[in-house]
A and B are shown apart, each in its own frame.
Chain A
Amino acid sequence: MGKEIIPAAEKSLNLIRGRLCDPSYVFRPLSASSDSNYSKLKFIVSTSITEGCNNSILLLGPRGSGKAAVLDLVVGDLLEEFPDSVSLIRLNGLLHSDDNCAFKEIARQLCMEHHLLFSKMASLDENSQFIVAMLRECGLAHKTIIFVLDEFDMFAQGKQRLLYSLLDAMQSVTSQAVVIGLSSRLDADQLLEKRVRSRFSHRKILFLPPSREEFDGLLEHLLSLPADSSFPNGYVSRFNEKIKNITSDTRFKDILRTLFNANSTVNSLLKFIFRAVSLMNLESGLLSLENFKAALSSMQRQPKLEAVRDCSILELYLLVCMRRLEVKEQSAYNIISVMKEYKTIHDSFQTSDYYAQNVCLRAFEHLRERQVICYTENRGQSQTGEYRPMKLLISASELHQGMRSHACCPAILLKLLDH
């Protein structure tokens, strides 16, 4: 009954966290079916390798939907199946969108793969001739070169020379290459010039978010502990039992639904589970629903709301005054007008909270530091001190919500806000 940590709990925590950080483990169950993107991609690339013909594919999908992970799975499998006939060149649009850089990088990677000496002084011409020669050599040796272009839409800026030369090289019989582009822009192939688009083979694989059943299966796959001997006997079954109870709970399903309404990619689910698992109670060694609730609230933070919740009563008064001035169509107000409004409220409602000017100025400073209010930018007029116009940085609904969740907000303020 003491506060000691069960060693098995730490081990299970490490195991699960390790799984969540390994993309190939995460995407294996999603790639199991024959209709999945994994099998489509694998089919296209492996037929290109075995038949020795050129091909180009585009993988499209929002960020975090697993494009790079599935590609790594496919490439890993292919390197195992055809150990000598595949060589891989990776480029990234953020780093290599300039043609000079791109050609240099391709030449460097080719040199590394084939144990040749790379010279940094080579010019663009020499690099491109080298690449063409290497493509021809590899084509003769029946070795396929796979070009992976990450952030494909960044390559489509400017003159698109790299894309043109790569895709043009694939139009000849002598070379054997596959170009795989990854992009989060759905219209990535519309960004291509018409010459380049004509040479591109228009194969697109769309990465859509998985369905609910797949998500449930994924949860089970990630969170259930294996029944091997490194864990104590009863622990594994208790852990898995608890997981099953949690996932079939309707409250958990509500939490998941709130999460998916904002962001339904696999990556956001992984982050959510990671946070929940890290909050695991190490004394009992089991997960609970509260872990998941806390994880959700830490993921969907509203910083301005928290700022309002931490305000003092005087600061709340000042915020309400500013809001009322806004409602009265007074678009530019400064400290003086806010103080006037504050006085009118005090006079009409006889509130007990009335503070002197310098205390209010201090409160304004606090609000400005927390970025709840700020000075508006004025061109030309340089007013100083209390005449500078200010504005609110939070919306009315956020102010409302913050005040409602405030620990001791006076009721009169809420009434004033709704007025």
Chain B
Amino acid sequence: MPAIAGPSSSPQKHVVGSRLEVTGGLRSAEVNTCRKRKLRSDSAAEVSSSTPVNSISTPMKWKSPRRCAVSIPKTADEEIKEDSNGNLASPVISAVKNLSVCLDVESKWNPRDEEQMKAVKEALHVSKAPSTVVCREDEQRRVSEFVKSCMEQNKAGSLYICGCPGTGKSLSMEKVRQQADDWAKQAGLPCSETVSVNCTSLTKTTDIFSKILGKNESGSKANGSSSPLQQLQSLFSQKQQQSSSKMMLIIADEMDYLITRDRGVLHELFMLTTLPFSRCILIGVANAIDLADRFLPKLKSLNCKPLVVTFRAYSKEQILRILQERLVALPYVAFQSNALEICARKVSAASGDMRKALCVCRSALEILEIEARGSIDQEPQGPVPECQVVKMDHMLAALSKTFKSPVVDTIQSLPQHQQIIVCSAAKAFRGSKKDRTIAELNKLYLEICKSSTITPAGITEFTNMCTVLNDQGILKLSQARDEKLRRVSLRVDEADITFALKEIRFFRNCLL
């Protein structure tokens, strides 16, 4: 597979390039030998246009090249690569060490350069589809095999793709569609038509049928006599005049918007593929894993259950590989590899959502950019002091910004009376009782105020403050006719409140 060959082939090239000059200066970092080797590594870089240099990252620490070089065989899932990488392990390490030293001396990555920053950010943007889709080869293969077999046998079929958001479903669908077109051209079959519908854009669920009908090649328009569904059904129940009619590929994205109470539309859609002369290949995409079982039980009895392909959430190695793949095409190194690793680990533990990983990386880049710009203001002159790549602390800051909820900060910065209200709410809802009236909460509030000689606020002010806390999502107030009978419940975890207020001794004692 061309995609995987990329990163692992480069160390070979570089090893070949620099092995020729292996001298005693392998372990030393003298400038002379470095410069010599730098020139040669430069020419080696020019020889191969898409030199994925940065998969061997260039941090100042010596540990990470080793880790990165060893991690490459882990992500490659074919034996050949493992063998080759295993053989090259030790020379790669030393060559990489040297390479990194050379690259440190003449690093092309400058965080203050806008063009470079823009290119890296673009490479990491969610909307930029990578040229090759990695880590989804298995699923893509299954889907394209299904489509090919349907097209070859001129038979209708249905497929259901499920998976969490951000696992590459729509991306793979695009690739499969292109592949199907190419393959059909090669095999000499007529190209299939594609109807791609995003079901969130339908005003009524039955509109999907008119959309399918609209694309039908026989050109029958939706006339007023029968509904589009009936027309499609009659179309597919009769033998077609033309012997070689095109297959129709229907891709329904976000299919769970089609679920109505009687599940009629979903059933009919899948039943279209079971009609005798049906020509459509239906591929449905949604998040629920058991959609086919729960909502389409009739199909099972008719023995035409759709094929199910599950896109699992990405694991840490997969996320790391995808990130490295995206950064491969750039001629400079912007990220330390352990920064990428920690990002992959955290995101895969949380949700396995690739969009989040990309977002966190971009956020870390922005933190680096602000830092670099900040140092501009202080010293406008002078070269880049050190190789400013995205390091662990940038990535950790970006991760905390993305994953931390703002509740703790907000509670810490609330005015004093509102903090007392939050504290009394935490005490009130400790037991089994999950909601109380405002009057009861007021009583607790007055008790706490009395114990600390703070003048309590009146009932009007108290109700106003409870409304403010309700607006912020900390408390939940219900509606009632009488102000004092409104019920209050807590929306925030008590542990969060205790954590937020632990600096203040008064509240610490209060919440004991």
Contact = CB atoms under 8 A, between A and B. Distances in A.
Contacts of B355: 198-199, 201
A261 interface: yes
Given A53-B125, A124-B203, A187-B491, A305 B417 contact: no
A34 B359 contact: no
Q: Which 9 A-B pairs have the closest CB atoms?
A: A198-B165, A185-B473, A302-B458, A264-B415, A261-B416, A208-B413, A198-B166, A184-B471, A202-B402
Nearest to B465: A262
A60 B127 contact: no
Given A262-B465, A397-B446, A195 B287 contact: yes
Contacts of B125: 53-54
A43 B417 CA distance: 35
Interface in B127-144: 127-129
A34 B371 CA distance: 11
Contacts of A301: 460
A242 to B, nearest CB: 28
Interface in A201-254: 201-204, 206, 208-209
Given A53-B122, A124-B203, A302-B458, A172 B127 contact: yes
B440 interface: no
A170 B353 CA distance: 17
9 contacts: A44-B366, A159-B200, A164-B200, A199-B126, A260-B416, A262-B457, A301-B460, A395-B459, A398-B459
A161 interface: yes
B409 interface: yes
Contacts of A369: none
Contacts of A60: 406
B392 interface: no
A194 B350 CA distance: 13
Interface in B383-434: 401-402, 405-407, 409-410, 413-417
A170 B359 CA distance: 13
Given A128-B201, A161-B200, A186 B474 contact: yes
Interface centre among B122, B356, B415 (most CB of A within 10 A): B415
A263 interface: yes
B510 to A, nearest CB: 16
Contacts of B129: 173
Interface of A: 34, 43-44, 47, 50-51, 53-54, 60, 62-63, 123-125, 128, 159, 161, 164-165, 168, 170-173, 184-188, 190, 194-195, 197-199, 201-204, 206, 208-209, 260-264, 300-305, 394-395, 397-398
B461 interface: yes
Contacts of B407: 186-187
A168 B201 CA distance: 11
Interface in B275-322: 287
B506 to A, nearest CB: 13
A63 B468 contact: yes
A185 B125 CA distance: 28
Contacts of B128: 173
B237 interface: no
Residue from A190, A202, A300 having most chain B Cβ neighbours under 10 A: A202
Contacts of A395: 442, 459
B370 A187 contact: no
A124 B200 CA distance: 12
Interface in B9-35: none
B118 interface: yes
B461 A206 contact: no
Nearest to B360: A202
A165 B201 contact: yes
Contacts of B413: 208-209, 264
B41 interface: no
A54 B473 CA distance: 28
Contacts, number: 136
Given A44-B366, A198-B166, A260 B460 contact: no
B287 A194 contact: yes
A195 B254 contact: yes
Contacts of B473: 184-188
A202 B359 contact: yes
Given A128-B201, A208-B413, A187 B166 contact: no
B472 interface: yes
A199 B127 CA distance: 10
B446 A260 contact: no
A202 B468 contact: no
A165 to B, nearest CB: 7
B374 interface: yes
Interface centre among B121, B369, B409, B471 (most CB of A within 10 A): B471
Interface in B474-509: 474, 491
B109 to A, nearest CB: 17
Candidate in B122, B446, B459 with the most chain A CB atoms within 10 angstroms: B459
A63 B464 CA distance: 12
Contacts of B121: 47, 51, 53
Given A187-B491, A262-B461, A304-B459, A206 B287 contact: no
Interface in B182-225: 198, 200-201, 203
Interface string B231-272: 000000000000000000000001001000000000000000
B472 A62 contact: yes
A302 B359 contact: no
A263 B415 contact: yes
Nearest to A202: B402
Contact of A261 (B417, B442, B459): B417
B370 A43 contact: yes
B363 interface: yes
Contacts of A123: 203
A371 to B, nearest CB: 11
A261 B200 CA distance: 47
Contacts of B366: 43-44, 47
A184 B472 contact: yes
Contacts of A54: 125-127
A125 B465 CA distance: 44
Interface in B60-92: none
A204 B398 CA distance: 11
A60 B474 CA distance: 13
B410 A262 contact: no
Contacts of A51: 118, 121-122
Given A206-B410, A208-B410, A186 B405 contact: yes
Contacts of A197: 165
A34 to B, nearest CB: 7
A140 to B, nearest CB: 15
B200 A171 contact: no
Given A53-B125, A54-B125, A186 B406 contact: yes
B167 to A, nearest CB: 9
